[in-house]
Structure 1
Amino acid sequence: MRSLVVAVSVFGMVSAAQAADLSDLPILRGGLTEGLANSRVNWDGYYVGGQAGYGASDEKFSGSNQTMTAALLANTAIESAYGVSQWPLPFGKTTGKTSAFGAFAGYNSQWDDVVLGVEMSYMHGSFGGTASASMSRSFSTPISGFYHAVTSNAASSISISDVATIRGRAGYAMGSFLPYAFFGLALGKADTTRSVSVDDNYAATYAVAVSSCNSATPPFCATLSAAEGQHNRLIYGYSAGLGVDVNLYAGLFARFEYEYVRFATTVDTNINTVRAGLGYKF
């Protein structure tokens, strides 16, 4: 009887010890995700990585050709009387979508669970758009004895191939996860083109001025035009967004991020991208 009691006691102690050891496995303490969340990661230090994503750019061309039209019509009667360069040409807004790829590098400084840092991010893609607009008006008030029917035409385009951002980051470490927000300066390399033309039909009577133009007889026809292009132009803006870094093994981590960039140039351009990346912290 005593031997039976001793055997049962020993078996109970061994079972308890085995249960205690098994309870240390992450999968038995709530699964792998909980294990990642409970593990503590050191985010302090330098890091580099690569990234790829998908984005959309929105361009507002309204007003992009006003200064060019004003220069074209400087000291003309129709500009002085009718303010042609200020006409609200109906450009509207364009949207383009593209894939992109690039790299990032930065430095983190960690205090307990708070992580602050500075980072440079680069993406190469094909952002931008093209738009054109036209507006015609006729005027019943003559200038120096002539009535005018004026048409203003304009076209504009922007193509942004490279976007780099310099940002400050602030994050909060939650085990193997580092959610963060950022804000900073954005730089872009862009090609832009603009063209304008103004057609002025004029005659001694209003009815003739608004009729079809024929160079042989009134209404008389006058056309002024100009065009310009700028290549590899440096443009400026700002960047903001949210993301999360996930520690995978040792210094290796994955990244998931959303970024908003705005370039307030002659063409107001907004770029929204989502991207995934893989990095290594030294």
Structure 2
Amino acid sequence: MIFKSSNMANRRNPATAVLLLAASFVVPSNVASAGEAPSSYNWSGVYVGGNVGWSGFNSEWTDVDDDWGISPFDAGSRGFLLGGVVGYNHQLGNNLVLGIEGDLAFTSNKRSFDPTGADEVDMVNRMDMFGTVRARAGYAFDRFMPYVTGGLAVAHFKHVWTERDDVSDSWPDFGGTKAGWTLGAGVELALSDRWTVKAEYLHADFGDVVSRNEDGYRLKVDRAVNTVRFGLNYRF
């Protein structure tokens, strides 16, 4: 099976990178001195919008009981996402902007193949929905705002392993809708009083799931998602 064990460590790197990026965006509460003029643009208000971008679905499959005698393999995929967003910002007097945002997107991440390479197995590994509910904290440089964000992530997965000649040694779909956590950062720019554009990176982790088939063998699937997306929002 294709995935190397070292990828488990590598898969953590996006989260580490986000933490470093987040640290660079943190602005102390006393950054705005008494004589500093407040931002002329006010980010407060409800907004709606849309997102489009790229989604990387990292997924390691492990034959826990060595049923097939093959090593863990990578069944991840790269795809596109398209979705909508709704949120609320509140700008404080020191230009700190706090908010909450929710989004939901359809994704095209899918991989189907025979992991044994002997035309014995049909395997499907798919993520077709990705959403989040997150807190945001940014600092307004007038119409430009870098921010960090984090919270709840939800995705819908499909994991199927079908052995053609031995149904009892198969795993029916054990994916489903799963919750995890997400952390990220981005930048947003106000084009006018109502319209803003943004670029954002998110790392989400959904842990692993283990399924036991009729023959008693276990299959484990580990899931993580990285997204880079661009958005257009309208503020009311």
TM-score category of the 2 structures, normalised to the smaller one: 0.5 to 0.7
1:263 CA displacement: 2.0
Query: Where does structure 1 differ by over 6 angstroms across 4 or more consecutive aligned residues?
Result: none
Q: 1:242 and 1:39 mapped to 2: Cα distance?
A: 21
**CA, structure 1 residues 91+195, in 2 after alignment: closer, same or farther (shift >3 Å)?**
farther
Q: 1:54 and 1:224 mapped to 2: Cα distance?
A: 36
Q: 1:116 and 1:101 mapped to 2: Cα distance?
A: 25
Kindly indicate whether residue 120 of structure 2 is the aligned counterpart of residue 125 of structure 1.
no
Kindly indicate whether residue 59 of structure 2 is the aligned counterpart of residue 59 of structure 1.
yes
Kindly indicate whether residue 15 of structure 2 is the aligned counterpart of residue 48 of structure 1.
no
- Match in the other structure for 1:114: 96
Please tell me whether the aligned partners of residues 58 and 271 of structure 1 are also in contact (alpha carbons under 8 angstroms): yes
Partner of 1:249: helix, strand, or coil? coil
Q: 1:224 and 1:52 mapped to 2: Cα distance?
A: 40
- Match in the other structure for 2:29: none
- Match in the other structure for 2:80: 99
Kindly indicate whether residue 137 of structure 2 is the aligned counterpart of residue 176 of structure 1.
no
1:114 CA displacement: 0.7
One-letter amino acid of the structure 2 residue matched with residue 168 of structure 1: A
- Match in the other structure for 1:256: 199
Kindly indicate whether residue 229 of structure 2 is the aligned counterpart of residue 281 of structure 1.
no
1:167 CA displacement: 0.7
Q: 1:117 and 1:39 mapped to 2: Cα distance?
A: 17
Structure showing greater radius of gyration is: 1
Q: 1:245 and 1:51 mapped to 2: Cα distance?
A: 13
Q: 2:234 and 2:53 mapped to 1: Cα distance?
A: 19
Please tell me whether the aligned partners of residues 50 and 104 of structure 1 are also in contact (alpha carbons under 8 angstroms): yes
Please tell me whether the aligned partners of residues 91 and 131 of structure 1 are also in contact (alpha carbons under 8 angstroms): no
One-letter amino acid of the structure 2 residue matched with residue 179 of structure 1: P
Q: 1:244 and 1:237 mapped to 2: Cα distance?
A: 24
**CA, structure 1 residues 187+236, in 2 after alignment: closer, same or farther (shift >3 Å)?**
same
Partner of 1:264: helix, strand, or coil? strand
Please tell me whether the aligned partners of residues 75 and 125 of structure 2 are also in contact (alpha carbons under 8 angstroms): no
Q: 1:95 and 1:224 mapped to 2: Cα distance?
A: 24
Q: 1:261 and 1:57 mapped to 2: Cα distance?
A: 10
The Cα offsets for residues 125-164 of structure 1, whole Å up to 9 and x where unpaired, read as 1224346555xxxxxxxxxxxxxxxxxx877532111101
Give the RMSD, CA atoms, in angstroms.
Answer: 2.8
* Identity across matched positions, percent: 28
TM-score where L is the length of structure 1: 0.58
Q: 2:222 and 2:228 mapped to 1: Cα distance?
A: 21
> How many residue pairs align between the two structures?
184
